[in-house]
A = this chain, B = another copy of it.
Amino acid sequence: MVSLFQGVHHLPIWLLLFMSFWSLSEEGKLLVIPVDGSHWLSMHSLVLQLQQRGHHIVVAAPEVSALIEPSEHYTLKTYFVPYTKEYLEAEFRRLGHQVFTPRPFLERVTQTFARIGNITTFLLNSCKQLLSNKELIISLKESAFDAVLMDPIFLCGQAVAEYLSLPSIYFSRGIPCGLEFQAARCPNPPSYIPRFFTHYTDHMTFPQRMWNIIVSSALSWSCSLLYSSHEDLIRDFLQQDVTMTELLSHASIWLLKYDFAFEYPRPVMPNIVLIGGVTCGQQKPLSQEFESIVNASGEHGFVVFSLGSMVSEIPMKKAQQFAEAFGTIPQTILWRYTGQPPPNLANNTKLIKWLPQNDLLAHPKARAFITHGGSHGIYEGICNGVPMVLMPLFGDQMDNAKRIESRGAGVTLNVLDMTSKDLSAALNTVIYDKSYKENIMRLSALHLDRPIHPLDLAVHWIEFVMRHKGAPHLRPAAHDLNWIQYHSLDVIAFLLAVVLVAMFISWKCCLFCCRKCFCKKGRVSKSSKTKAQ
């Protein structure tokens, strides 16, 4: 890892002294409030990096977690939650099976809403437990942190930050209802910025632009609905009247996990820092086991297949379909799978409980990557230049897949409708049609050609907030305007009124003048008439 403060020889001595004093006298204390599951995985690598730079990290997490575990790298402080590890694992398994079960369209929509509702209730319950855990809150207050690093999907983190009067840094791929842009007062025109769940690109037809606007309003409304109980809870806790947008608008820095090699270009605000590829680190050598599988793959190379950390088991029928497709291609398949092996598994397919995904994708023999389209995996595909077959399951995955497909760097399959032939054809396309490799290599070159690694950039901005107790100089004055003022509607109305009044007065003046003239003329002509008589 490169050292930060690059180019320090440009800096005056007083600032160097200030920085070294800051970093010697107190290494920095950071409170981390994460969200479990895949969200934690990418935050975890950032936490490790911060710990390596000498900061003391405290992670406040539910006492029952799928992936957040005690570690020598940070102090884990837990709070009670009313569920068990078994319940959590069963929920994850259920999710895996649910997304692979074909259902009619309307039922799928209802199911999606139900899933979002479930997640929100789950987060709300965790929030209740965290905020009511007085012992923990007092201990956090006594710890005198410099800042809070949090996942903004768990709004509770900001409530704690407000309570402790600490600046906060958000780490996220984005909030499905686009709340991050609303909260950061970042312009977000629906005419060329596709909304989550629409699966549109940035070039939309008229009906698509219309649907994009409707979805935008619907998402905004549903977010208000979903988070309303959070707001009530937080209002009680903070003893102040606050909305979720106001809460999130207090973020010092938004670390967003994408860049424009992947995301469509759009406006950003000064406190939005793009760190796409933050988890895509240096390639480590493969273990003996993987090295031998990879070498044995011969000239055809191998394919990496993983559906992410949340889904490792799938229904047997689907597994058989996958296995059948894999049997038709000459590449070796490395499949992350913990379920019962399908009986039709071909010799070229290896089922593995855990894959060193990044190191495998970085291998020159990696020919394709079958992924569910989580942003973590997608960036590993991009930074290693491996074309993808995308099988989006839920959340932002459909939209992520669309972005890769629209760049000609991958093929998207509908995991419910697809046949084994579709999968085999998709694999052959991305492996043998050269344009896919060329396109992913182009994206990779654009993504990797940056002045500083995104992990270093993320660390810089977290330390910046810790050093300066926030980043108020990056907060736009737009936060101090209401909706009408922001859009200058009051000024426009006033100017319109002035113009209308001016027009009315001019009209009246004209009328008056005309009347005067005509009357005069009339009188003159009358008098002349009289004279003439």
Contact = CB atoms under 8 A, between A and B. Distances in A.
B6 A260 contact: no
Contacts of A457: 451
Identical copies in the complex:
2
A213 interface: yes
A84 B429 CA distance: 66
B383 A12 contact: yes
Contact of A448 (B15, B191, B266, B473): B15
A491 B206 contact: yes
Interface stretch (A129-137, A267-275, A370-378): A267-275
A264 B2 contact: no
A14 interface: yes
Contact of A452 (B7, B474, B481): B7
A444 interface: yes
Nearest to A361: B12
Given A265-B477, A473-B261, A456 B186 contact: no
Interface string A462-498: 0010011000011111101100011110111011000
A478 B15 contact: no
B6 A491 contact: no
Given A6-B6, A450-B460, 13 more contacts: A1-B7, A2-B6, A7-B452, A15-B444, A15-B449, A189-B487, A191-B481, A191-B491, A192-B480, A213-B488, A213-B491, A264-B476, A267-B268
26 contacts: A6-B452, A6-B453, A6-B456, A7-B456, A10-B448, A10-B453, A11-B448, A187-B189, A189-B486, A191-B481, A191-B486, A191-B491, A192-B476, A206-B491, A206-B494, A213-B491, A213-B492, A260-B270, A264-B476, A265-B270, A265-B473, A265-B474, A267-B268, A450-B460, A451-B451, A451-B457
